Structure 1
Amino acid sequence: MKQSQTIREYLSAIPPENTATRVAFFLAGFLMAIWAAMVPFVKVSLGLDEAHLGMVLLCVGLGALVVMPLCGGIVATRGAKFLLNKAFFIVPFLLYGVVFSSNTLLTAALLFVFGMVFGAIDVSMNVHAVEVDRRSEKRLIAGFHALYSLGSVVGALAMATLLNVGIGLLYAAGVWLLICIIIWGFSVNSLLPDAGKAQGVSQSFVWPRGFVLWLGLICFLLFMVEGAVLDWGGVFLVEEKSAAIENAGFAFAAFSTAMTLMRLIGDKLIAYAGPRNCVRYGCLIGALMLTGCVLLPHVWLVVVLFFALGLGLANVIPIAFASTADQNKMPMSLALAAVTTLGYAGLLTGPALIGFIAKVTSLSTALLMLAAFLVIVSFSSNIFRQK
């Protein structure tokens, strides 16, 4: 009896806006995992080859890049809750529309709008998270990002479970999308109504400068590394380390698993070591791990190094996002929108840049270039707070 009372007291002591923020990050990852599970079905149903599928998938990223710079101004005038309230209800319907679509142009249009709405979620969700983190007595930002990763894993398993027992995509996606709508309906009213609002904001977008621009460039480089591991990690194992093609997925699996685990304890680590040290030594570890991936020949040792790479870089992005509140040159919502946009640009352009460099030189050389970028970020860590 006492134990159940203790649990209830603990749960009731958690501010509702903290729980709502955690739900938002979890659902965002869950929804993106549903979309990832749908991609092979879209390819088959539309009869697309790899090149045309790539063009269709690019619509998601382009939609996000179009809307992200504008979201800061909307959040500054209306609050993060205004966008989150609408966007999380719109995304499931857009994804379900893709399930029904049998026309390539219609699918591309739906995915472009999906990218726009998800881009709005990304910016407003992070603005709300930074505001909740700022008002809290303890660090929360890394834990929020961990729940996005956890939501991705749970979403992938949820879709795979229904599809593997013979339930078609129409019903599998429909069930989980409906559950997402219901969960968000119970959570949305707990969001802070004033998160991200700023007085006297007349511009929808302000070009970042100084500290904010440097944060954006750091996010650009970090997201570039993430995109490279996602798109090129498996290719690197197969072509450079002679791994069996069936084992190609272990590179990104190890990296993403490590990021999730480290972010679950990241808030305590940041509170203990400080943001500056976490960025400095995390990026140095990342640079060493990428260099080791190039120099060491054994496949499974390289997979371990990809895991260690994820451990090192896990908390750098959350720290950079939270640091937008540590300046007064521009409203936090506008700053975070600019930083997020630059980061997303790195995620989209990074794999293409890696491919170009790999063609001119080698994939190993491209990874060493990424290691050099991480060293630059490490030496730039003095812009972050010590504690």
Structure 2
Amino acid sequence: MTAPLQTASRRTVRRSPLAPARRVAATVFAAQGTAVAAVSTTVPAVKERFGLSPQLMTVLVVAVALSAGVGSFVGLGVIRRLGLMAAMRAAVVASAVALLLIGWAPGQAAVAVSYCLFGLALGCIDVSANTRAAAVERHYGRSVFASFYAAWSTAGVAAALLTASAAHLGWGVEYTLTAQAALVLVLALTIRSHVLPVDPPSPVSDQAAGASELGRGLWARLAPFGLVLLVAYVIDSTVSSWSTLYLHQTLDTALSVAPLAYAAYQVGTVTGRAGADRLVRRIGPAAVIRAATLLTAAALVGLAAAPAWPYAILAAACTGLGVSALVPLCLASAGRLRPGATETVLARMNVFNYIGVLAGGAASGTLGSTGHFRLAYAIPAGLVLTLLATARFFNHPARAAGRA
């Protein structure tokens, strides 16, 4: 009797309307992960092709973060006007176009505009993809958010390896970014419309909750999650944007090997995120936050002190493993605060996201341009320990999700 029951259960799962929604959300995350990895791992090559100074390269990384912050609220408007699916498709296609423009830009001004376009697309993907991921998790009634970020990181690994392979074959950066853009466009073609079940009615209607909960009260409730998100993106930006240049410039590594630090970082995040949902259900989100904080701090110290590129790659992988659960846990917890206005809540959370990217990208780039890349990894090691104080705020949302 057991086997037929199990077969019927599997058929029920396959027929569930949640499966297509989960696949589409994972695809959008994968497309974004590919695009971000393409930009991050080609920083040294773009710098050399256009003769950009370290200071100007830092300005461009900061410009991407600023544009992404604007793009987050532009995406919110697109979602309200055209719908979530249209917003996701348009943003993914725009990111692929931006990659092509960066690679084939005729000069420094054009490449700067292309980076800004990429940032706008990135922000729009952020708010639309996270909104859909929060809705899917809410319908599942259990932690699945980390699985979407695992798709993001897996795609990032593939894109980083593509950059390294292209450099090994002697490809110009324009051809590398064209190949990356093609991957993003292929993923865009697989984004299919789907329907989620209607949300169960909330005990308090959106109208009754009103402006007060979407005002200062909401900001106060978001603050602990926002702090974790900010620090996580300081670290992510420092490793993602500058690890390739760190290996190339400070550790004297070849361009064909330098992108492997980014790939290793994403392998770490894939590994962590693949098991994060089960770990959250097993020991609770607060314990996961504490363990992740301590591991990340230790790994960043190792990255700062690395004597050669193999040690740096190993430390980058451990950093990814440690930081892997922080972002999905923050966004899932924040998204549960106001199920009826998830896109608005997550647009606000993106403020912390991009402040972290700005701080990490600008500080690391500035330190790197003055020959102090090691400090760019040592300083966040101390900063991440402050997150131990926020762990207790994650328990209540997790219990709420468990009852969904």
Q: Give the TM-score range, shorter chain.
A: 0.7 to 0.9
The CA distance in 2 between the partners of 1:325 and 1:337, in whole Å, is 10
Which residue number in structure 2 is paired with residue 23 of structure 1? Answer: 27
Task: Note the alpha carbon deviations across 1:261-302, whole angstroms, 9 max, x for none.
Answer: 111122211221222221122213333444576799899777
Residue 63 (structure 1) aligns with: 67
1:1-387 matches, within 5 Å, as 15-36=19-40, 39-40=43-44, 42-72=46-76, 74-75=78-79, 79-161=83-165, 173-174=177-178, 177-190=181-194, 209-230=219-240, 245=253, 253-290=263-300, 304=314, 306-328=316-338, 331-353=341-363, 369-385=379-395, 387=399
Do 1:254 and 1:306's aligned partners in 2 also have CA atoms closer than 8 Å? yes
Deviation at 1:67, TM superposition (A): 2.6
Question: Post-superposition shift, 1:126?
Answer: 1.1
How far apart are the structure 1 equivalents of 2:187 and 2:308? 45
Q: Is the 8 A contact 1:76 1:331 kept in 2?
A: no
311-320 vs 163-172, which deviates more?
A: 163-172
Across the aligned residues of Structure 1 and Structure 2, the Cα RMSD in angstroms comes to 4.2
Greater shift in the superposed pair: 82-91 or 243-252 = 243-252
- 12-21 or 109-118, which deviates more: 12-21
SS of the residue 1:187 aligns to: coil
Between stretches 123-132 and 342-351, larger displacement belongs to 342-351
Q: Which residue of 1 aligns with 2:4?
A: none
Question: Which SS does the other structure have where 1:380 is aligned?
Answer: helix
> Does the 8 Å contact 2:164/2:258 carry over to 1?
no
Query: Which region of structure 1 is more displaced relative to structure 2, 65-74 or 273-282?
Result: 65-74
In the superposition, relative to structure 1, how do residues 63 and 93 fare at CA in structure 2: closer, same or farther (>3 Å)?
same
Contact 2:68 2:119 in 1 (8 A): yes
Q: Distance in 1 between matches of 2:43 and 2:373?
A: 26
8 Å contact from structure 2 (residues 146, 328) kept in 1? yes
Tell whether the 8 Å contact from 2:65 to 2:358 is kept in structure 1 after alignment.
yes
Structure 1 residue 254 displacement after superposition: 4.2
Query: Which 10-residue stretch deviates more, 334-343 or 11-20?
Result: 11-20
Give the secondary-structure state (helix, strand or coil) at the position aligned to 1:278. Answer: helix
Instruction: Write the deviation string for residues 190-223 of structure 1: whole angstroms up to 9, x where unpaired.
Output: 375999xx96699xx9676111133212211121
State the distance in 2 between where 1:190 and 1:109 align: 34
Q: 1:371 to 1:25 in 2, by over 3 A?
A: same
SS at 2:52 equivalent: coil
- TM-score, normalised to structure 1, is 0.78
Structure 1 residue matching 2:190: 3-state secondary structure: helix
Q: What amino acid maps onto 1:379 in structure 2?
A: A
Q: Is the 8 A contact 1:87 1:117 kept in 2?
A: yes
- Measured in 2, the distance between the counterparts of 1:310 and 1:93 equals 28
Q: Report the CA distance shift for 1:337/1:97 in structure 2 as closer, same or farther (over 3 A).
A: same
Counterpart amino acid of residue 137 in structure 2 = D
What is the total number of aligned residue pairs between the two structures?
377
Distance between the aligned counterparts of 2:302 and 2:376, measured in 1?
13
- Separation in structure 2 between the aligned mates of residue 330 and residue 214 of structure 1, nearest angstrom: 21
Whether the 8 Å CA contact 1:289–1:309 is kept in 2: the answer is yes
Distance of aligned partners of 1:330 and 1:284 in 2 relative to their CA distance in 1, 3 Å threshold: farther
Q: Distance in 1 between matches of 2:206 and 2:98?
A: 34
Quick check: 2:335–2:342 contact (8 Å CA) kept in 1? yes
Deviation at residue 318 of structure 1 after TM alignment: 0.5
Gaps of 5+ in 1: none
Alpha-carbon distance change, 32 to 11 in structure 1, aligned in 2, over 3 angstroms: farther
Deviation at 1:48, TM superposition (A): 3.0
SS of 2:193's equivalent in the other structure is helix
Gap change, CA 1:302 and 1:19, over 3 Å in 2: closer
How far off its partner does 1:98 sit? 3.1
Q: 1: CA distance between counterparts of 2:239 and 2:258?
A: 11
Question: Structure 1 pair 132/46, CA: closer, same or farther in 2 (3 Å)?
Answer: same
1:249 to 1:380, Cα distance in 2 relative to 1, 3 A: same
Moved more, 66-75 or 114-123: 66-75
Once the 2 structures are TM-superposed, how far is the Cα of residue 313 of structure 1 from its aligned partner? 2.1
The alignment partner of 1:121 has SS state of: helix
| CA distance, structure 2, for counterparts of residue 163 and residue 173 of structure 1 | 11
Q: Using the alignment, how far apart are the partners of 1:95 and 1:234 within structure 2?
A: 18
Alignment deviations for residues 44-70 of structure 1 (CA, whole Å, 9 cap, x no partner): 553433333433444322211223245
- TM-score between both structures, scaled by the size of structure 2: 0.75
* Partners of 1:283 and 1:313 within 8 A in 2: yes
Give the SS at the match of 1:189.
coil
| Contact 1:85–1:188 (CA under 8 A) maintained in structure 2 | no
What are the superposed Cα offsets for residues 78-106 of structure 1, whole Å, 9 maximum, x if unpaired?
A: 54323113212222223223333213222
* Bigger mean CA offset, 112-121 vs 298-307: 298-307
Change in Cα spacing, 1:43 to 1:368, as seen in structure 2 (3 Å) is closer
> 2:351 corresponds to which letter in structure 1?
T
